[in-house]
Structure 1
Amino acid sequence: MVNLVIFFFSSHVDYWFNEVKDRLVECFGPIDYQSEILDFEKYTLYYNKEMGEGVKGKLLGFERLIHPSQLADIKNITNNIENEFAVEGNRRFNIDPGYIHHMQFVLATTKMWPHRIYIGKGIYAEPTLMYINGCWKDYDFTYPNYKEEEYKRELERIRLMYLEKRKKFLR
């Protein structure tokens, strides 16, 4: 079992998160971790045309553990939620699901790339970070925001919570 993590980002992150939070809880269970607002726009301007300037995000951890095989279904659910709120094909927010295991952070994506593994239903898994010798290590292909200590600290908090949940699950 692994810990579901979502990176939710938008140019109006607080507004849209409040609009969608109940839906996320309905689909994935209670949120037990929510980071402070994280800068995202300094890493890429890719989303500005679609969402507007000032894109920021927050990392969310969920109380209920999931099986890694659920990741493709979860990504398709989050894509559907994004599309429901889109205006003229432009998303108002992005919901990027992934999971934390004690030794890795994995993200889901619809885009094929050589290091990504197809997991079904049009979805690929990207090994984004590995946990070795007491810290998160990134790869050459890791998204720039996840290479930053600020993001790694937030993921470490979720990882520690996950390890506690896992102890209870394994008893």
Structure 2
Amino acid sequence: MGKVRIVEPVNLVIFIFSAQLDYWLETVKPDLISLFGPIDYISPELDFEKYTLYYNEEMGSGITGRLISFERLIHPSLLASIKIKTNELELKHAVDGKRRFNLDPGYIHHMQFVLATTKMWPHRIYIGQGIYAEPTLMYINGAWKDYDFTYPNYKEEVYKFELSKIRDLYLEKRKKYLQNFVKSEKRVR
């Protein structure tokens, strides 16, 4: 029988994409900070439209995105609640029922990148509140590895490069968290 272990915190990441990316990022940033705390990294603008035209009718053409990392680590069990909140933010700023931006939350752990979604698919795991977890990338042998089902943009090196920057930030935060955890455990004994 395996021993139940304490779950390590993870790094919240949100991918925002829009046809008017910087305008909507600046508009929604105060809400994101209010909900999830300080931002510690925003990626350069990343091409998104070359991977899919699915969102063009709703948002317009020229869709690009940015990956956003948050300073505070979270428990991975919060992912479903976070997805619900990001969906609410999308609707709050919708115009005539059409979203102006999309917020895709997920998290980085030292071994994986996981996204939240409302859509069921065989490889996705139900995590509550109508939300599924999508294992998107795994980190193994010093690099991000994608799966057959990984979204095309996350298979690209430019996205993996940005996620590696966020992973490096996470590893520093994780190290401090584990040091503090060990110190607090010693005080309890």
Normalization by structure 1: what TM-score? 0.99
> What does the per-residue CA deviation read over 1:49-74, in whole Å, with 9 as the maximum and x for residues that have no partner?
00000000000000000000000000
Q: CA deviation at 1:87?
A: 1.3
Rounded Cα–Cα distance in structure 1 between residues aligned with 2:27 and 2:69: 18
Cα distance between partner residues in 2 of 1:46 and 1:74: 23
Q: For residues 21 and 86 of structure 1, what CA distance do their matches in structure 2 show?
A: 16
SS in structure 2 at match of 1:41: coil
1:169 is aligned to 2:167: no
Matched, 1:34 2:70: no
Match of 2:77 in 1: 69
Q: Are 1:107 and 2:115 an aligned pair? A: yes
What's the Cα RMSD here? 0.4
- Asked whether 1:142 is paired with 2:167, we answer no
SS at the partner of 1:152?
helix
SS in 2 for 1:111: coil
Deviations 1:31-54 (A, max 9, x none): 001000000000000000000000
Displacement of 1:157 after TM fit?
0.3
Query: In the TM superposition, what is the alpha-carbon distance from 1:148 to its structure 2 partner?
Result: 0.1
Q: Deviations over 1:89-124 (max 9, x none)?
A: 110000000000000000000000000000000000
Look up the SS of the partner of 1:114 in the other structure: coil
Task: Report the counterpart of residue 15 of structure 1 in structure 2.
Answer: 23
CA distances 1:115-165 after superposition (whole Å, capped 9, x unpaired): 000000000000000000000000000000000000000000000100000
2:4 aligns to what? none
Residue type at the aligned position of 1:116: R
Which structure 1 residue ranges, 5 or more long, are not aligned?
Answer: none
The unaligned stretches of length 5 or more in structure 2 are 1-8, 180-189
Report how many residues are paired: 171
* Residue type at the aligned position of 2:150: T
Letter of the 2:25 counterpart: F
Q: How far 1:28 moved relative to its partner?
A: 0.2
SS of alignment partner, residue 33 of structure 2: helix
Matched residue SS, 2:166:
helix
